[in-house]
Amino acid sequence: MRRLSLNQRTTASWSVPEAVDGCVRAGVEAIGLWREPVAEHGLRRTAKLVRDAGLRVSSLCRGGFLTAPGALGDNRRAIDEAAALGTDCLVMVVGGLPPGSKDLAGARTAVADAIAELAPCAGERGVRLALEPMHPVYCADRGVLSTLEQALDLAERFPVSQVGVVVDTFHLWWDPQVWQQIARAGARIASYQVSDWITPLPADVLLGRGMMGDGHIDFAAFTAAVNAAGYTGDIEVEIFNADVWNTPPDQVLTTVKDRYRRLIHTPRESNAQTP
Amino acid sequence: MRRLSLNQRTTASWSVPEAVDGCVRAGVEAIGLWREPVAEHGLRRTAKLVRDAGLRVSSLCRGGFLTAPGALGDNRRAIDEAAALGTDCLVMVVGGLPPGSKDLAGARTAVADAIAELAPCAGERGVRLALEPMHPVYCADRGVLSTLEQALDLAERFPVSQVGVVVDTFHLWWDPQVWQQIARAGARIASYQVSDWITPLPADVLLGRGMMGDGHIDFAAFTAAVNAAGYTGDIEVEIFNADVWNTPPDQVLTTVKDRYRRLIHTPRESNAQTP
């Protein structure tokens, strides 16, 4: 259980203090935070709260939307927030096409240019920009980085301490190149996030993530690949799903822990656990 | 206008004779047929109808679903139907994961094995199996071939006369490798299908295709790439969309022709046309 992290959007109805308490109660040692609830509770207060509770902050979600006006300033603030919260991982949802644009190549170049601006600034503060390749269903409106290969092609232009990648099962499970690219990623892996791909996809595709085990993803293969690439960091459960959000959060955490034990925490990590 | 083909699902409310009449009325010279409406009207009657109307059959949709029981027999019938209709292009939606399976690699192998069984049989009848790489949003339930690269890796195991690929803008527009893979495809391109990627995606993701120009895709770039690869065949408009289906089909065809002229039929084909 020591690598399990709760991304706070999985228990979206909880405030920051409630989520911190929930993790402590459940014996979860790490939490992935989001900027909006952190701002609501206060950045310094949140930093103190998680530190006092003995939790690691596995990531801050999220920087990015680099194709929008004002992105650089906002991302510099996000880097500062990550540093203040004591996490070295700022998840970057890089952004989609600008309104009305059909210039996908141009948007990808704009993302690369913005990362080049931000990377040194992140490195100075001990924060890594964790580029998140997103499922192609989000290419137009959320993330023009669509494959791990593409994210690595960009990340490798920068020092490994400045720019890494997110391996998120939901976004990457379909990719014929994924195992090869996870092996290539090695020390670039800044975050490993898990949720399942369920069908039929709900009406709101943003809420399409399922609890691990409810869908089509072979998590044992992912965890094995990520471990073999040398990643030893937290495994963050991030589920956007109306049914999960309508379930009492403590119960969600109980299910998360159960599924984590059975599906994610493979024998390759510990022979004491069997699925 | 000579390369424009109406995929009959774009005007889903029309029967086969209505669609054939509609094409003739609109001056559209080719039609993409679907097996179910063809069966309803009768295979021989349909073949005679389109021949007498002077239409080309640009494709038959669809074979595939190769991971399901009984797939080989059904696909042999589809090959025979394509031959009877006088088209050399059978579009293959290869199928998703078998129920309950999380073995994506296994499903992909099963698809390859089935294609190996069917390819010679298609070749003998003058029909090409046109492998359709599908948007990853359909990977679990409709098509485990997710990129053009992957489809070409499979197609290239067989003679070019037996197995080709479909270049469908809706499925491929997000792919960072798409231009390079279209160039690689060359004579493997068996069909070029167009529709747009619209956001927000409708509640039913199967009906997510938009009229060209209503979404995010740069069609001029696609047509130029496909032409540069040497493809001179039909350009098939295939739109699954509730709003399009609720519009009188003649009006849909008028819009299709207008958008085709302005967006698809690029100057590279004819300098007489400018967008």
CATH code at A257? 3.20.20.150
- Number of folded domains that form chain B: 1
Q: Is residue A270 situated within a structural domain?
A: no
| ipTM of the complex, rounded to two decimals | 0.93
Tokens of A28: 């979860």
Strand-strand pairing, A235-237 and B4-7: unpaired
Q: Is residue A116 situated within a structural domain?
A: yes
Is it the case that residue B87 has pLDDT exceeding 70? yes
- Chain A residues closer than 8 Å to B137 by CB: 135-137, 201, 205
Q: Is residue B199 situated within a structural domain?
A: yes
Find, among B238, B264, B261, B230, the residue nearest to B10 by Cα.
B238
* Chain B residues within 8 angstroms (CB to CB) of chain A: 97, 102-104, 108, 135-137, 139-141, 146-147, 149-150, 173-176, 197, 199-201, 203, 205, 215-218
pLDDT tens profile A194-238:
999 999 988 888 888 999 999 999 999 999 999 999 999 999 999
Is it the case that residue B274 has pLDDT exceeding 50? no
Mean pLDDT, 10 residues at a time, chain A of 275 residues: 96 97 98 98 98 98 95 98 98 97 97 98 98 98 97 98 98 98 98 96 88 97 97 97 95 97 71 34
Numbers of helices and strands, H then E, in chain B: 11, 10
- Chain B residues closer than 8 Å to A218 by CB: 102-104
Which of A94, A137, A222 should be substituted to probe chain B, the one whose Cβ sees the most B Cβ atoms within 10 Å? A137
Find, among A160, A154, A157, the residue nearest to A131 by Cα.
A154
pLDDT given at position B216: 97
Which residues are CB-neighbours of B139 under 8 A, at least 6 positions away?
Answer: A173, A174, A197, B96, B104, B146
- Chain B: give the shortest CA distance to residue A241, in Å: 15
Which residues are CB-neighbours of A100 under 8 A, at least 6 positions away?
Answer: none
Compute the CA torsion angle B148, B153, B158, B162 (nearest 10 deg). Answer: -10
SS3 A107: helix
Query: Would the CB atoms of B137 and A140 count as touching at under 8 Å?
Result: no
Which residues are CB-neighbours of B224 under 8 A, at least 6 positions away?
Answer: B266, B268
Judged on CB neighbours under 10 Å (0-12, 13-18, 19+), B255 is middle
Q: pLDDT-based confidence at B203, cuts 50/70/90?
A: confident
Rounded mean pLDDT of B8-37? 98
- Chain B: give the shortest CA distance to residue A35, in Å: 25
Q: Is residue B94 situated within a structural domain?
A: yes
pLDDT given at position B84: 98
pLDDT given at position B266: 66
Its domain, for residue A182, covers 4-264
Q: Is residue B136 situated within a structural domain?
A: yes
Cα A109 to Cα B168: distance, rounded to the nearest angstrom:
24
- The single-letter code of the amino acid at B42 is G
Is it the case that residue B275 has pLDDT exceeding 70? no
Give the helix ranges, DSSP H, for chain B.
16-26, 35-41, 43-53, 71-85, 104-124, 148-155, 169-172, 178-185, 219-228, 242-245, 249-259
Q: Is residue B275 situated within a structural domain?
A: no
Cα B269 to Cα B232: distance, rounded to the nearest angstrom:
10
For A146, which of B139, B174, B205 is closest by C-beta distance?
B174
Q: Is residue B260 situated within a structural domain?
A: yes
Q: Is residue A274 situated within a structural domain?
A: no
The half-sphere exposure of A111 on its side-chain side, counting CA atoms within 13 A, is 31
More confident call, B201 vs B52 = B52
pLDDT tens profile B41-85:
999 999 999 999 999 999 999 999 999 999 999 999 999 999 999
Cα A90 to Cα A118: distance, rounded to the nearest angstrom:
12
